[in-house]
Amino acid sequence: MASSVWKGHLTFGLVSFPVRLFSAARSETISFNLLHKDDHSRIRQVTFCQSEDKPVNRSELVKGYEYEKDQYVVIEDEDIKKVAPKTAKVMEILEFVKADQVDPIYLESSYYVAPDEGGEKPYALLYEALRKSEYYAVAKVAMHNREHIIILRPGSKGILSHTMYYQDEIRQVEEFRTDTSLVKDKELDMAKMLISSLEAEFEPQKYHDEYRANLQKMIEAKIEGKKVVAT
């Protein structure tokens, strides 16, 4: 069984039941280490003091916030601990909103929400109610020393949750706009025909990271001492 990233009670109104959160997705990539070109020994990063022009130990480092150009206020770890929210044991639903009102741009990390022992029936009730009503739940929870607003939505097998970007984290780009008055009716009809000709069911298993697969094959060939050819 996958390890949970959060465990507690989901509450709304007078209803409360135990749940667990599991990571639902993660990006996959191939990482490399930096080596010295001459002897292939692994190098390590060095923290360097610009004013003294010499490397310094990590024990000599402190956090600083730049409030003006080249002006810093020192922030101690204890200062951060005092204001950081402790991981809570309660996830509180604040409100329910129409599913079509939630722009996907606000959705960040994804988690599976599973019922813990004794919470199976109220969990199933909430899942079915969300699915039939086409509503999402907006909830608040503190985990990993940060307070999150999350979206709870019904998936194909259970409830999914997504941490949500805050409004001030969404970039507003003035150039990002569309002038639909430029489109003529005949051009729109042609575009619709093109869409219709490429219509298909969404099957994510069809898509693969071909670059990562080719990179892995190249690495395996290198290990086996074979000649690497262009893909």
Identify whether the C-beta of residue 123 lies closer than 8 Å to the C-beta of residue 136: no
pLDDT at 230: 60
Average pLDDT, the chain: 89
Q: In the predicted model, what is the mean pLDDT of residues 42-46? A: 86
pLDDT at 229: 62
Q: Under DSSP, is residue 86 helix (H, G, I), strand (E, B) or coil?
A: coil
Q: Which residue has the higher pLDDT, 224 or 138?
A: 138
Q: In the predicted model, what is the mean pLDDT of residues 14-41? A: 89
What's the pLDDT tens digit per position in 93-116? 999 999 999 999 999 999 999 999
What's the pLDDT tens digit per position in 165-182? 999 999 988 888 888 999
Q: How many Å apart are CA 141 and CA 88, to the nearest integer?
A: 7
Q: How many Å apart are CA 219 and CA 231, to the nearest integer?
A: 13
Identify whether the C-beta of residue 113 lies closer than 8 Å to the C-beta of residue 152: yes
Partners of 139 in the β-ladder: 93, 150
- pLDDT band of residue 38 (cuts 50, 70, 90) is confident
pLDDT at 154: 96
Q: How many Å apart are CA 37 and CA 163, to the nearest integer?
A: 42
pLDDT at 1: 55
What's the pLDDT tens digit per position in 212-229? 888 888 888 888 886 666
Q: Is the pTM of this model over 0.85?
A: no
